[in-house]
Amino acid sequence: MNQNHLLEATLAELHLTTAREQYSRLAHNAKEPIQYLHDVMSAELHARNESGTKARLHAARFPVMKTFDTFDFRLLPEVPKMKVLELTEKKFIDEGRNVVFYGPPGTGKTHCLIAVGVAACINGYRSYFTTAAGLLNMLLTAKRQGTIDRRLKSLSRYDLLLIDELGYIPFEREATDLLFQVISQRYESKSVALTTNLAFEHWTQVFPDAMAATAVIDRIVHHGSVFEFAGESHRLRSRGGKTGRPPKG
């Protein structure tokens, strides 16, 4: 067996698929053995990172893919762009920080929420996207089926939990108690990012128990940032043209 066959067999046994595919091509440009080995291993690492990112993005269950590259901060001059972009850095999750995007519907909160989650996946972190209603319905179902502990443990494995649309639907005490468990479980260890249309003083419209609302808010904002989105719905503005008014009829 010649050296090429031996090398291919070794790379196959190590499951270095990309290195096996690329080593021959890279050898033509190699001047130094160490540099050549580095190039081959770099190609393998790049392919694995791409594969891992795709897997994490798929597992996150984003409804659509959004990044900050396509977000127009000019529509929200009161939102500090650089502070928001800091949420795409690794330290945001490494430090177990949280973020709340607050404001009326259509102002870009969900776009930013997804963009933070996508950045986390690219940075190598596991993320999970859900609406508040979807999360609580899932938890209630798990409780009734006797699998709530397993479900809570599963959620705890995600580095970043993204909760969209908190405040649009009021919940019963049983549901908000479960949400409190999720937030408390992640406190000072894992990150939470959420959107809401309600100012904190109005969270009692969602939480039947004012004490529970206060406890959840305290845990989220203790190591968190709050960004207020103001103004007219971007969707209505785009439908109404330059005037920002919805079309007649």
Instruction: Write out pLDDT tens, residues 59-83.
Output: 999 999 999 999 999 999 999 999 9
Which pLDDT band, with edges at 50, 70 and 90, does 243 fall under? very low
Q: What's the rounded mean pLDDT across residues 28-40?
A: 64
Residue of higher predicted confidence among 90 and 14: 90
Please, which contacts does 46-53 make with residues 24 or more away whose CB atoms are closer than 8 Å?
46/18, 47/17, 47/18, 48/18, 49/124, 52/124, 53/121, 53/122
User: How far, in Å, CA of 47 to CA of 41, rounded?
Assistant: 10
- Architecture label for domain 68-239: 3-Layer(aba) Sandwich (3.40)
Residue of higher predicted confidence among 222 and 38: 222
Instruction: Please state the domain extents for the chain.
Output: 3-59, 68-239
> For the stretch 58-76, what's the b/e string if a residue is b when 16 or more beta carbons lie within 10 angstroms of its beta carbon?
eebebeeebebeebeeeeb
Instruction: Determine which of 8-22, 25-39, 40-54, 223-237 has the lowest per-residue pLDDT on average.
Output: 25-39
Name the range with the highest mean pLDDT among 73-77, 126-130, 241-245. Answer: 126-130
Model pLDDT, residue 219: 95
Write down the pTM of the prediction. 0.79
Residue of higher predicted confidence among 26 and 228: 228
Determine the distance from the C-alpha atom of residue 29 to the mean position of all C-alpha atoms in its chain, rounded to a whole number: 40
Does the structure show a pLDDT above 70 at 248?
no
